[in-house]
Chain A
Amino acid sequence: MASRPAGLTRRQVYERSLKRRSLIIAGGSTLAVVLAVVILVPLSPGWEKVKLSFFNGEVFVKTFPKLLNAFVLDLAIFAWSVPLIAALGLAIALARDVRNPVLYPLRLFGAVYTDLFRGVPVVLVVYLVGFGIPGLGLPRPWNSPYIWGTVALVLTYSAYVAEIFRSGIESVHNSQRNAALSLGLAGKDVMRFVVLPQAIRRVIPAQMNMLIALQKDVALLSFIGPVEIFRQAGVFKSLLANFTPYVVAAAIFLVVTVPATRLADYLIAKQNRSRS
């Protein structure tokens, strides 16, 4: 018998050596790529110029506080949009499941709504709603781009969110509905107490991804007025004739969206584990 560390099975010894090998290879190849980038990129002819206009430390330090401040507005728009999107999205999803013939118009509306707003680019909805509706000559404060910008985001996102809710509702097995019906529960109670709670739990990871997308799309409101981070970065760009503020803005977005993305992935992985 070959000698091996005490307390380890044959299998564990083998797996250890495999793991060590793959760590060395992964480390080596990563190092090679990083070195190539660090050495090759600065060798390119335009590097000095790019570095000055995109990665200017002085501009970074100067613009960072104000950009961070402007980002608070993005967060605020995001924060008040989310509950509205969740409520409208759920309402649309439920409208599409209505079976009562009297309520058929509601069902039709739900279908048309989701097709319409999923089919038009967000930026177009922002322009049309954000410029169009205040153009009706509404008095203050009803001509505010904050209101109509939010409305545009809510309209678009609730269409996507509604479809995700609906896929969740459809994923609940029919035997659950039957079990609830067989107890004599009314259709609306079956939905509210049995189907929806299970459906919502299942679609949380997918809805997290929608939140991340929304967080980024808040920047589109800059086109209709609000001085949020993207617009503020644009102001600095013109002022300082330098692109670094955009890089700063991107970095600030990443600080929020990367953890959120990780969390969503973690939730998805957790859900897959519990189902298998």
Chain B
Amino acid sequence: MKLRLENVQKSFGQTKVLDGISLEVAQGEMLCLIGASGSGKSTLLRCINLLEPLDDGAIWLDGIDIAEPSLDPQPIRQRIGIVFQSFNLFPHMTAEENVMLAPRRIHRKTRDQLRQPIAELFDRFGLRDHMNRYPDQLSGGQQQRVAIVRALAMKPDIMLFDEITSALDPELVGEVLEVLKSLKTEGMTMIMATHEMDFAREVADNICFLDQGRILEQGPPQQIFAAPKQMRTRDFLGRVLGAHKG
């Protein structure tokens, strides 16, 4: 699995949201996107998942340009899981049904065939007792973990995480980040937009700093956090880390 973005361009009306993004993610790599709100992190992830069409540029997934507008997005989306800030579980289904829906419809598997592997997934993330609950009966952290399980059930090649801890109470952030760490040890390829700088520093292989739709600086976390080259990166980190340390 290899993902490569080439000069990705996206505008909403007159506003340029992504202005020539190029980057590469290797198999098993975790890439963290950091940057201020509105810098284009979320839009970039939604473009990779084809929820937003690109204006220009290319996205190569294993040698295929998935940004080709005439391609059917469905089979591509099945290979790219995404988890959103606001969970977006289906409120009328139990946690288990949320996870089962896509494999049932797409892989044409029966509930009976799916029950065992899905129970194991719930088990792995400490959600066994919550399988038959509805989303509004779960805490934010539990809902977000179910959303991760839902995406994983499709066995994607790469997972995208769009500020998945931003809507959580502080005491629930940890349990969700733990899930990402365990995915990382299993070799999952991941791109994560985040404001959790400590987590990015500890877990990411590479960091991209986005500013006004461009990648201003990228590199391994030691370099970005310890010795940022760009003034704007330094400013941004100074602000978020300063605020964080109180």
- Contact residue among A176, A183, A189 (Cβ-Cβ distance under 8 Å from B151): A183
- B22 part of interface (Cβ distance < 8 Å): no
- Contact residue among B49, B92, B105 (Cβ-Cβ distance under 8 Å from A185): B105
CB distance from B135 to the nearest CB of A (A): 11
Known interface pairs A184-B74, A184-B77; A175-B51 also in contact (CB < 8 Å): no
- B195 part of interface (Cβ distance < 8 Å): no
- B91 part of interface (Cβ distance < 8 Å): yes
Bound-state CA distance A184–B154 (Å) is 9
Contact with B along A187-198 (1 / 0, CB 8 A): 001000110011
- Contact residue among B74, B90, B154 (Cβ-Cβ distance under 8 Å from A179): B90
The interface stretch among B28-36, B81-89, B178-186, B212-220 is B81-89
Contact A182 B77 (CB under 8 A): yes
Contact with A along B216-244 (1 / 0, CB 8 A): 00000000000000000000000000000
- Of B51, B82, B86, B88, which is in contact with the most chain A CB atoms at under 10 Å from its CB? B88
- A171 part of interface (Cβ distance < 8 Å): no
CB distance from B79 to the nearest CB of A (A): 8
Q: Which B-chain residue is minimally distant from A274 (CB atoms)?
A: B136
CB distance from A262 to the nearest CB of B (A): 26
Bound-state CA distance A183–B88 (Å) is 12
Contact A185 B51 (CB under 8 A): no
Q: Which B-chain residue is minimally distant from A192 (CB atoms)?
A: B105
- B7 part of interface (Cβ distance < 8 Å): no
Bound-state CA distance A184–B156 (Å) is 10
Contact B92 A197 (CB under 8 A): yes
User: Which residues of B lie under 8 Å from residue A182 when comparing CB positions?
Assistant: 49, 51, 77, 80-82, 151
CB distance from B78 to the nearest CB of A (A): 3
Contact with A along B89-110 (1 / 0, CB 8 A): 1111000000001100110000
Contact B105 A179 (CB under 8 A): no
- A62 part of interface (Cβ distance < 8 Å): no
Bound-state CA distance A200–B82 (Å) is 27
Bound-state CA distance A181–B53 (Å) is 14
- A201 part of interface (Cβ distance < 8 Å): yes
Q: Which residue numbers of A lie inside 8 Å of B, CB to CB?
A: 175-176, 178-186, 189, 193-194, 197-198, 201
Contacts beyond the supplied A176-B88, A184-B77: 6 A-B pairs with Cβ under 8 Å? A175-B86, A176-B90, A178-B84, A179-B89, A182-B80, A193-B90
12 contacts between A and B (CB under 8 A): A181-B73, A181-B77, A182-B80, A183-B78, A183-B81, A183-B102, A183-B106, A183-B154, A184-B75, A185-B74, A193-B90, A194-B90
